[in-house]
Amino acid sequence: MRYIGYILLLALIGYGLWPYFGVYRLDGAINAPGTAELAEMVDLPAIRANYKDRVSAGVKGVLPSDDPDSVVSWIRQNLERLGDSALEQAITLDWVRDTLRGAVTQATGQSPPYLLAGIDCAFFESYNRFLIRIGELGRGATHVRLSLVDGQWKITDIIP
């Protein structure tokens, strides 16, 4: 019985360390010359969807419309369509790498940037979500959310 408890404890410790190993791999990936290593660790559709949700919430606040036949509603629908193609062009692996490198450089002043040096906080939000804060809270910190996707920790949101 005691051995089962030890095995469960080791599994729990391993699960708790797993995303930190992903952060260590991410540190090497953002400084690698290509984006192949980074591509394995990024879920671009999820990042785009999260940005779209934030933009849509802002547009609804600026252009509220209760009438679906109004001009304001038509403008909002077109902005949402244009926003999808704009997000696909703007949010790429190069953008992810440049955003992370810029956040680390801003937080530490190092060149080349080392992600591990710029992390102020990194911990679980839930059992399948892990949040990294690059820089100090309240001083332009960048938040990077990792989610457990298909058995791997992947970046699913970046909030500069």
pLDDT tens for 112-153 read: 888 999 999 999 999 999 999 999 888 889 999 999 999 999
- Strand stretches in the chain, DSSP E: 119-126, 129-134, 142-149, 152-159
Which residue ranges in the chain fall short of pLDDT 70?
A: 58-83
pLDDT at 121: 93
pLDDT at 54: 80
**What is the Cα–Cα distance from 118 to 134, expressed in whole angstroms?**
5
pLDDT at 80: 67
User: What torsion, rounded to 10 degrees, do the Cα atoms 117, 118, 120, 122 define?
Assistant: -80
Q: Phi and psi of 128, rounded to 5°?
A: -125, 15
Domains in the chain: boundaries: 2-159
103 SS3 class: helix
**What is the Cα–Cα distance from 147 to 131, expressed in whole angstroms?**
9
**What is the Cα–Cα distance from 93 to 72, expressed in whole angstroms?**
34
Q: Which amino acid is at 129?
A: R
91 close to 47: Cβ distance less than 8 angstroms: yes
- The whole-model pTM stands at 0.82
